[in-house]
Amino acid sequence: MTKKLLLSGNEAVAMAAQYCKVNLGVGYPGTPSSEILDEFSKLGGKAEWAPNEKTALEVAIGGAFAKGRTLATMKHVGVNVAADPLFTIAYSGVPGGLVLISADDPGLASSQNEQDNRRYAISAGVPMFEPASSQECYDFLIKAFELSEKFKTLVLFRMTTRVCHSKTLVVPREDDYPAAVINYEKDAKSNVMIPAYARIAHRKMRNRLAEIAELNEAGEFIVEKMRSSEIGIIATGISYMHAEDAAPEASILKLGLTYPLPLERIRNFASKVKKCYVIEEGDPIVTETCLANGIQVVGKNEIYRYGELNVNRVRRILSGDVTPEAAPVPGKPPQLCVGCPHRKSYEGMKALDLIVAGDIGCYTLGVLPPYEAVHTCVCMGASITTGLGMRHVMAEEQARKVVSVIGDSTFWHTGINGIVEMVYNRPATGHVVIILDNSITAMTGMQEHAGTGFHLDNSPSKKLVIEDVVKAMGVDNVDIIDSTAEYDAYCELLKKRLASNDLSVIIVRRPCILGMVKRKGK
Amino acid sequence: MKKVTNIIFAGLGGQGVLKASDILAEILFTLDYDVKKSEVHGMSQRGGSVSSEIRFGAEVFSPMIPHGETDYLVVLEPTQVEVNISKLREGGILITPADLPLDKLSNPKAANTMFLGALSKHLTEIPEERFIEVIKRFLPEKVHEVNIEAFKLGRG
Ligand SMILES: Cc1ncc(C[n+]2csc(CCOP(=O)(O)OP(=O)(O)O)c2C)c(N)n1
Ligand code: SF4
């Protein structure tokens, strides 16, 4: 009997990565992608947390330059951070196998935006897979490496929250897969993107995409079910599943390799039905591409661009229903845990009525009652820099109230760049940065980072020390305090530092209570 | 003929909602159904609303239950009934704390298994032993006894 497993999409990806002997998995945590590397490591794969997504992708690129098979994982907004290497590696390609997983979050279950990263495939010029189930996560990841190695290109693997976290059945492969042969060869013309070489590489990239489009037309990644000549549905990713439930009588064209699109197959399918719908979550990308190529399809109304799709919404799209949708009854919002070290830190900031330039982590919850202390939050690492911008522009009295608040994992991610900016372009009133060091990446489920002293697989690592680094960078005052155990002293310290024109970093150090549970469990 | 059965477990972070649904999904999996289980992870450790959806049958497509088509809605926390009730189909079965002898629990942490017991009464296609077997496989040995007791109390 064939072995069958019940796996989340993330687990299936990890298992496929182990099956095809991926040499290295690198990423930065971010819901809904975080479990992939943990699972890959548990299965025996070599996996590591990088300090941020740019670093992660670059390490993966290096491994693929050496002809290894490498995997980079991140959430959708992480790809923004990694976009610089992405756009250029799309030109040069890689001699090995390189897959970048972008875990998108339509509906913003746990994110600051719901950007549609299918746009990255188009914009950078790399092929993209979109799995619809855990089985496809498994099968397509292997296919993604094969495509990557055949065409010498990075492949984007676009998952979404429901695909990452839903558990569905998977039949894994049991045969042996050939390992990558690591034999580095210098090829500067391909791998050094000076303008002269990059001009050539750009053309090569477009040719590569044309060849992949042709391969896509052959149908390996297409499922076509002709059931009706009335209604046809073109669907991608999880939307396919909703469409099957919403309209079991309709004909379906399901696409797996969704960039570059198999336009002739789509044209042919659309010609066989009276009305052809495109069911896709997020931006109307397939719809617009079809229309631009003269394929008559019907997209969704703008109201369905927001949030996730589901069976009910797909039914509404198919029936042309654009009446307002019933708002779901709001659930209870998350809160900082009882005993969370961030609580007292915010209590102090609220008491002093500070202007808090915030950042992303558990501590973003300080925006909600009872604290309502956080004023701004843009993206990871932005607290220090946006706080500096405020200090530069505001009148002195107000500028003195500005603090930047950032977590430890976020500090190493991109916050550290803000310290460089602060020391280099110092505001007249100085600045105060509060680093909430709970010794873990808590928000995304307790991952280690450069400052915890442990690797992804829990083995000990060299521990980077925040105070040593910021002192060495030229910050005037560096204090370490526990705002819970020494609350009054913490408030006094804050007042004192705010009153001066110094550049001050206050490290609030107390472990996350769930992080302690994790460490004890080890 | 109804092809797919839809079940929701709902409650607050930390109540064992996800554990209960993991156990049920595994049971259905061992019985060779097509099973899909869906939930949104993320910030559940901070005590916010949590829910997990299970669909099983001969063939399941969407992992998300169509709104208003839930056959069994199991709610571990009274305030979460209002949040989830519109998902239940007409004639569907609602199980809430009021339906259970929770005061008889020797360890309140086993409440989720009691809810599983209450649900198990309705899922007549699943033998009781299969529940016990998978509960044992999913939980550490030192809590087997209290959880099996909770399951049986729930099953009534
Ligand atoms: C570019 C980017 N990558 C990843 C994430 C996901 N994410 C949100 S907060 C966070 C880290 C939080 O860790 P830390 O700063 O230590 O704060 P804590 O949650 O521990 O309080 C991560 C990885 C994101 N929002 N943006
Ligand atoms: S998980 Fe840790 S950091 Fe996050 S709210 Fe709970 S105690 Fe605070």
CB contacts of A162 in chain B (<8 Å) are 38, 63-64
Mean pLDDT calculated for residue range A147-153: 98
pLDDT, tens digit (0-9, with 9 covering 90-100), for A50-103: 999 999 999 999 999 999 999 999 999 999 999 999 999 999 999 999 999 999
Contacts of A328 (CB under 8 A, 6+ apart): none
The best mutation among A380, A449, A516 to test binding of ligand 1, ranked by most ligand atoms within 8 Å of the C-beta, falls on A380
Q: Are A446 and A49 in contact (CB under 8 A)?
A: no
Homologous superfamily, domain B4-155: Pyruvate-ferredoxin oxidoreductase, PFOR, domain III (3.40.920.10)
Chain A residue with Cα closest to B43: A334
Domain that holds residue A124: 5-217
- Name the DSSP letter for residue A454: B
Instruction: Tell me the longest C-alpha to C-alpha distance in chain B.
Output: 43
How close, in Å, is residue B70 to chain A by CA atoms? 13
Phi and psi (nearest 5°) for A442?
A: -80, -50
Residues A50 and A17 reside in one and the same domain? yes
> What is the complex's ipTM, to 2 decimals?
0.95
Which ligand 1 atom is nearest residue A436's CA?
21
Coil, helix or strand for A286? helix
Q: How far apart are CA A419 and CA A402, in angstroms?
A: 15
Mutual angle of helices A35-42 and A9-19, in 10-degree steps: 40
Beta bridge partners of B52: B9, B39
Q: Is the pLDDT of residue A463 over 50?
A: yes
Which residues neighbour A38 within 8 Å (Cβ) at sequence distance 6 or greater? A14, A47, A447, A456
CB B48 within 8 A of CB B13: yes
Whole-angstrom Cα distance, residue B93 to residue A245?
A: 22
A445 with A502, same domain: the answer is: yes
Minimum CA–CA partner of A308 in chain B: B64
Is the four-CA dihedral A208, A212, A215, A220 of positive or negative sign? positive
A300 vs A235: CA distance, rounded Å: 12
Q: For residue B131, give the nearest of B98, B97, B123 by alpha carbon.
A: B123
Q: With an 8 Å Cβ cutoff, are B47 and A110 in contact? A: no
Q: What is the mean pLDDT of residues A322-344?
A: 91
Does one domain contain both A122 and A258?
no
Q: In terms of DSSP bridges, do strands A24-27 and A69-75 run parallel, antiparallel, or are they unpaired?
A: parallel
Ligand whose nearest atom lies closest to the CA of A518: 2
Q: Which amino acid appears at position A255 of this protein? A: L
Q: Are residues A171 and A209 in the same domain?
A: yes
Interfacial residues of A (vs B; Cβ cutoff 8 Å): 4, 6, 31-32, 109-110, 161-162, 165-169, 238, 241-242, 244-245, 310-312, 326, 329-337, 362, 365, 443, 445, 514
Which ligand approaches the C-alpha of residue A383 most closely?
A: 1
For position B2, what pLDDT does the model report?
57
Residue with CA closest to ligand 1 atom 6: A30
What burial letters (b/e) apply to A415-445, b meaning 16+ CB within 10 Å?
A: bbebbeebeeebbebbbbbbbbbbbbbbbbb
Give me the half-sphere count of Cα atoms (radius 13 Å) on the Cβ side of residue A404.
Answer: 29
CA nearest to A477, candidates A500, A502, A498, A496? A502
Q: What helix, strand, coil percent values describe chain B, rounded to 5? A: 45, 25, 30
Q: Are residues A190 and A69 in the same domain?
A: yes
Of residues A335 and A279, more confidence is placed in A279
Say whether A88 sits in a helix, a strand or coil: helix
Looking at the CA of A340, which ligand is closest? 2
Question: What distance in angstroms lies between residue A408's CA and the mean position of ligand 1's atoms?
Answer: 9
- Asked whether residue A489 is domain-assigned, the answer is yes
**Last residue of some domain: A180, A200, A217?**
A217
Within-domain flag for A328: no
Nearest Cα neighbor of A245 from A303, A292, A315 is: A315
Is there a single domain that holds both residue A197 and residue A293? no
Residues of chain B with pLDDT under 70: 1-2, 41-45
Q: Ligand 1 within 6 A of A441 CB? A: yes
Annotate A337-363 with b (16+ C-beta within 10 A) or e (fewer).
Answer: beebbbbbbbbbbbeeebbbbbbbbbb
Tell me which H or E stretch contains A325. none
Decide if A329 is inside a domain. no
Task: Compute the nearest-CA separation of A31 from chain B (Å).
Answer: 6
**A53 and A161 together in one domain:** yes
In the reported structure, the alpha carbon of residue B72 is separated from the centroid of ligand 1 by a whole-number distance in angstroms of 36
Both tokens of A340, joined, read 């969370």
For ligand 2, is residue A446 a contact (CB within 6 Å)?
A: no
Q: What is the mean pLDDT of chain A?
A: 97
Q: Which of A149, A127, A150 is nearest to A67 (CA)?
A: A149
For A50, the 3-state DSSP assignment is coil
Pick the residue whose CA is nearest to atom 9 on ligand 1. Answer: A361
- Total count of domains within chain A: 3
Per-residue pLDDT tens over the stretch A348-366: 999 999 999 999 999 999 9
Structural domain includes residue A335: no
Tell me the CA–centroid distance for residue A409 and ligand 1, in Å: 7
| Pair A236, A211 in one domain | no
Long-range contacts (CB closer than 8 Å, 24 or more residues apart) made by A471-476 = A473/A419, A473/A420, A473/A423, A474/A423, A474/A503, A475/A419, A475/A422, A475/A423, A475/A503, A475/A504, A475/A505, A476/A430, A476/A502, A476/A503, A476/A504
Q: What mean pLDDT comes out for the span A187-201?
A: 96
Read off the CATH number of the domain in which A257 is found: 3.40.50.920
Question: In angstroms, what separates the C-alpha of A310 from chain B's closest C-alpha?
Answer: 7
- pLDDT average, residue stretch A222-242: 98
Interface test with A, best of B19, B62, B76 (most A CBs within 10 A): B62
Please give the Cα distance from B112 to B115 (Å, whole number).
Answer: 5
A361 lines ligand 1 (CB under 6 A): yes
A236 part of a folded domain: yes
> Which of A48, A2, A44 is CA-nearest to residue A19?
A44
Give the residue extent of every domain in chain B.
4-155
Residue A42 belongs to some domain of the structure: yes
List CB contacts of A55: < 8 A, sequence separation 6 or more.
A28
Instruction: Look at residues A287, A319, A351 and tell me which one is the last residue of a structural domain.
Output: A319
- Across the interface, whether the CB atoms of A245 and B62 are under 8 A apart is answered yes
- The pLDDT tens digits for A368-424 are 999 999 999 999 999 999 999 999 999 999 999 999 999 999 999 999 999 999 999
Chain B residues with CB-CB distance to A134 below 8 A: none
**Residue A140 and residue A187: Cα distance in Å, rounded?**
29
> Are residues A287 and A422 located together in one domain of the fold?
no
Question: A496: domain CATH number?
Answer: 3.40.50.970
Per-residue pLDDT, averaged over A455-465, amounts to: 98
Residue A519 pLDDT greater than 50, yes or no: yes
Residues A105 and A168 in one domain: yes
Of B38, B49, B61, which is closest to A332 when you measure between CB atoms?
Answer: B49
pTM of the model as a whole: 0.97
**Residues A291 and A388 placed together within one structural domain of the fold:** no
Q: Coil, strand, or helix at residue B54?
A: strand
Q: For residues B1 and A239, which has the higher predicted lDDT (pLDDT)?
A: A239
Instruction: Please give the structure tokens belonging to residue A141.
Output: 């990841």
Given A194, A217, A240, the domain boundary residue is A217
Beta-strand (E) ranges in A31-68? 47-49
Is there a domain that residue A174 lies in?
A: yes
Region for A250 from its dihedrals, namely left if φ exceeds 0, alpha if ψ lies in -120 to 50, beta otherwise: beta
**Same-domain status, A107 and A9:** yes
Question: Ligand 1: which residue has its CA nearest to atom 3?
Answer: A78
Q: Is the CB of A451 under 6 A from ligand 1?
A: no
d(CA B117, CA A83): 50
A1-54 pLDDT, tens digit per residue, is 579 999 999 999 999 999 999 999 999 999 999 999 999 999 999 999 999 999
Q: For residue A333, tell me if it sits in a domain.
A: no
